[in-house]
């Protein structure tokens, strides 16, 4: 054994450090069992168990493939980190919002029009993803798997005991509010301490108000020389403010979870949120008897349901295991799996052959069947515009002029900035 000299010790540590640095890059996905290993990048914490089950069933039926679920709560941030490293997951579930559009615009996702996966999907829903962003003209970069609908949730028992029925026009809604107030019932339950809770009302109102299409109006607004202003949405803002007056006194102090809890305890008749809130409300009161109706327009014929793709499936633009990926997606889009997911998560199936089974979802289903859906207004705002914050400010102080001026200046500024550095 040689005595440890300083020089040999230093050489030894240098070698060890170099090896450690290389070790990080040696972890690949090559495992010697001859199977194709796929990673399912999944973001819905409520659905982990279900996706594990689906993966297990699929792996059993396809002995040559092993799909493993990788749950990531803050999926957009971690997906971006993976993209920086050029390490795009094989199979991705993603929420169809502005971030999806921004990612799709960079052309990193596959074009599913080249596959038959979209064949059974309701076209008015499939096209919502295209309005958010595409990697190129005529592409569809995601497959809509499950949908949410945004209207107004109501407590059927409170409605029955007060003797009112879901409205079909805005004026009827206000009549109902007055009626409920006269009976000492809070018409709406608001919880606007969390600033985004005003956004569902804004989105569902503008979905019915912008009859030429929500995305079309925002396209025009993005053209800064078109002279379009948010003043055109004044009726939408006014209705929001009108509805907030019909609410609980402690609305400014409550956050979203407090709102779910209070509404579950029957503290008000209506709750202005999308269907995503239903599982949360039921978690506080499993026996609550919920219903939904579309946010009524002035004219019943204009009423639309605002819908977003709650879960979209996508993959990289040139995946390593294309055939295996498509086989898994095909399996996932199977009626049985879509039904199982939608029943568990209280979501709307995207396949034309299916409809929602949950009694709380009945009210909006006819709109999906008739293709009367609009995209979320707030998905059109670049995140640098803190729309939710301005909405919250407006609901607190009711200063319409300030809101319109703020939205116009911020929109112009951010869009100009995006164009400048595009």
Q: Which of 66, 252, 322, 340 binds other proteins (CB under 8 A)?
A: 252
Q: How far apart are CA 16 and CA 1, in angstroms?
A: 20
Q: At closest approach, how far in Å is the CB of 41 from other proteins?
A: 15
| Binds other proteins by CB under 8 A, chosen from 70, 71, 83, 282 | 83
Nearer to other proteins, 37 or 193 (CB): 193
Give the binding range for other proteins (CB under 8 A) out of 37-45, 170-178, 322-330, 388-396.
388-396
Residue 231 sits in the site that holds other proteins (CB under 8 A): no
Q: How far is the CB of 196 from other proteins (least distance, A)?
A: 9
User: Rule CB under 8 A: is residue 420 a binding residue for other proteins?
Assistant: yes
Nearer to other proteins, 258 or 298 (CB): 258
Least Å distance between CB 86 and other proteins?
A: 9
From the list 254, 240, 145, 168, the residue with the least C-alpha distance to 200 is 240
In the complex with other proteins, which residue's Cβ is closer, 65 or 415?
A: 415
- Contact between 330 and other proteins by CB under 8 A: the answer reads no
The stretch among 39-47, 60-68, 338-346, 410-418 that binds other proteins (CB under 8 A) is: 410-418
Q: Which residues of 260-291 are buried (b: 16+ CB within 10 A; e: fewer)?
A: bbbbbebbbbbbbbbbbbbebbbeebeebebb
Residue 219 binding other proteins, by CB under 8 A: no
Binding site for other proteins (CB under 8 A): 10, 76-77, 80, 83-84, 99, 102, 106, 108, 193-195, 252-253, 382-384, 386, 389-390, 392-393, 396-397, 409-410, 413, 417, 420-422
């Amino acid at each position: 054994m040689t005595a440890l000299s300083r020089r040999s010790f230093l050489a030894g540590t240098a070698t060890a450090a170099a090896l450690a640095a290389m070790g990080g890059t040696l972890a690949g996905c090559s495992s010697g069992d001859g199977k194709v290993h796929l990673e399912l990048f999944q973001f819905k914490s409520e659905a982990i168990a279900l996706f594990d089950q689906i993966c297990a069933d699929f792996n059993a039926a396809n002995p040559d493939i092993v799909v493993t679920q990788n749950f990531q709560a803050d999926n957009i941030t971690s997906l971006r980190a993976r993209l920086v490293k050029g390490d795009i997951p094989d199979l991705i579930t993603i929420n169809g919002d502005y971030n999806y559009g921004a990612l799709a615009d960079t052309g990193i996702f596959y074009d599913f029009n080249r596959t038959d996966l979209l064949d059974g999907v309701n076209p008015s829903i499939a096209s919502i993803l295209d309005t958010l962003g595409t990697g190129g003209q005529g592409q569809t970069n995601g497959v809509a798997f499950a949908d949410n609908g945004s209207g107004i949730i109501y407590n059927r028992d409170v409605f029955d005991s007060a003797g009112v029925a879901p409205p079909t026009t805005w004026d009827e809604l206000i009549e109902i509010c007055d009626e409920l107030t006269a009976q000492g019932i809070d018409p709406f339950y608001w919880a606007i301490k969390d600033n985004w809770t005003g956004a569902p009302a804004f989105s569902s109102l503008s979905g019915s108000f912008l009859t030429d299409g929500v995305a079309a109006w925002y396209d025009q607004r993005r053209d800064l020389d078109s002279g379009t202003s948010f003043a055109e949405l004044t009726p939408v803002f006014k209705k929001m403010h009108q509805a907030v007056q019909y609410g609980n006194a402690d609305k400014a102090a409550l956050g979203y979870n407090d709102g779910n809890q209070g509404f579950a305890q029957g503290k008000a008749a209506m709750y202005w949120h999308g269907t995503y809130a239903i599982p949360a409300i039921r978690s506080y009161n499993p026996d609550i008897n919920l219903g939904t109706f579309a946010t009524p327009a002035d004219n019943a014929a204009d009423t639309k349901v605002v819908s977003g793709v709650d879960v979209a499936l996508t993959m990289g633009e040139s995946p390593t295991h294309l055939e295996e990926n498509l086989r898994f997606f095909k399996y996932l889009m199977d009626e049985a799996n879509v039904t199982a997911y939608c029943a568990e998560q209280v979501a709307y199936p995207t396949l034309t052959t299916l409809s929602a089974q949950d009694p709380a979802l009945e009210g909006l289903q006819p709109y999906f069947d008739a293709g009367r859906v609009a995209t979320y207004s707030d998905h059109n705002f670049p995140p640098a515009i803190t729309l939710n914050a301005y909405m919250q400010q407006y609901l607190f102080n009711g200063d319409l002029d300030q809101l319109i001026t703020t939205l116009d200046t911020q929109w112009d500024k951010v869009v100009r900035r995006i164009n400048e550095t595009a």
